[in-house]
């Protein structure tokens, strides 16, 4: 089954593509913006499209609405750092068939994709939603969550800055705030706490 990945972070696209390949899904194209995404949808006609909400200055939900308005039949699965019910409902209203937070384990992502591929006719979701009990989010901002999600890769502050289009100094500020909010003394502790509280994908 053909899959299109639309996310403005190459590191995330490569990780998702590698996971999908293990389950015999074919990633036929990747895109990092709404314009590229629409072009790839028309060119490759994927059965499933994994799409982030934040695409630089553009919005993935707007892409879904436009694609649906154009009669594109691909099934849209939202993969996002946002983990609130309002965002989930917006994605659902736009025409998405599933919602996955980037903090969800890879196995959960694959289960949802396989269910979508199998034609399950109900809205699917994976990952904790912040209004549910038992989840501790430490009041992290969306940007801090993005930085936290990249820590398990071992990337330096400079490398993370390159991925997120931020300066090394800005990343170091985010890291200092992360460690303070998580009560972590170092990167390893931050990753451990993040995984334990489902703030980042299990490694």
- Going along the chain from its start, the domains and CATH numbers come out as 2-126 (3.40.50.2300), 142-196 (1.10.10.10)
Long-range contacts formed by 86-91: CB under 8 A, 24+ apart: 87/53, 88/125, 88/129, 90/61, 91/53, 91/61, 91/64
CA distances (Å), origin 161, targets 75, 138, 157: 32, 22, 6
Q: What does the alpha-carbon distance between residue 84 and residue 174 come to, in Å, rounded to a whole number?
A: 22
State pTM to two decimals.
0.63
State pLDDT tens for residues 20-62: 988 889 999 999 999 999 999 999 999 999 999 988 778 899 9
Torsion angle, alpha carbons of 28, 30, 34, 37, to 10: -10
State pLDDT tens for residues 161-179: 998 999 999 999 999 999 9
């Amino acid at each position: 089954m053909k899959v299109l990945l639309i996310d403005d972070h190459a590191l995330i696209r490569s990780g998702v593509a590698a996971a999908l390949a293990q389950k015999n899904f074919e990633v036929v194209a990747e895109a990092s913006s709404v314009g590229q995404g629409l072009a790839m949808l028309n060119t490759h006609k994927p059965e499933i499209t994994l799409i982030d909400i934040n695409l630089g200055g553009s919005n993935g939900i707007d892409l879904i609405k436009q694609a649906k308005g154009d009669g594109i039949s691909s099934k849209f699965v939202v993969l996002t750092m946002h983990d609130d019910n309002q965002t989930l409902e917006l994605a659902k209203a736009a025409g998405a068939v599933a919602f996955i937070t980037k903090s969800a384990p890879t196995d959960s992502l694959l289960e949802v994709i396989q269910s979508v591929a199998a034609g399950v006719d109900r809205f699917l979701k994976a990952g904790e939603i912040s209004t549910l009990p038992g989840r501790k989010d430490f009041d992290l901002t969306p940007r801090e969550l993005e930085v936290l999600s990249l820590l398990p890769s071992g990337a330096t502050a400079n490398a993370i800055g390159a991925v997120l289009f931020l300066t090394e100094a800005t990343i170091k500020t985010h890291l200092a705030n992360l460690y303070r909010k998580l009560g972590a003394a170092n990167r390893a502790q931050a990753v451990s706490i993040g995984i334990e509280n489902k703030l980042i994908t299990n490694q």
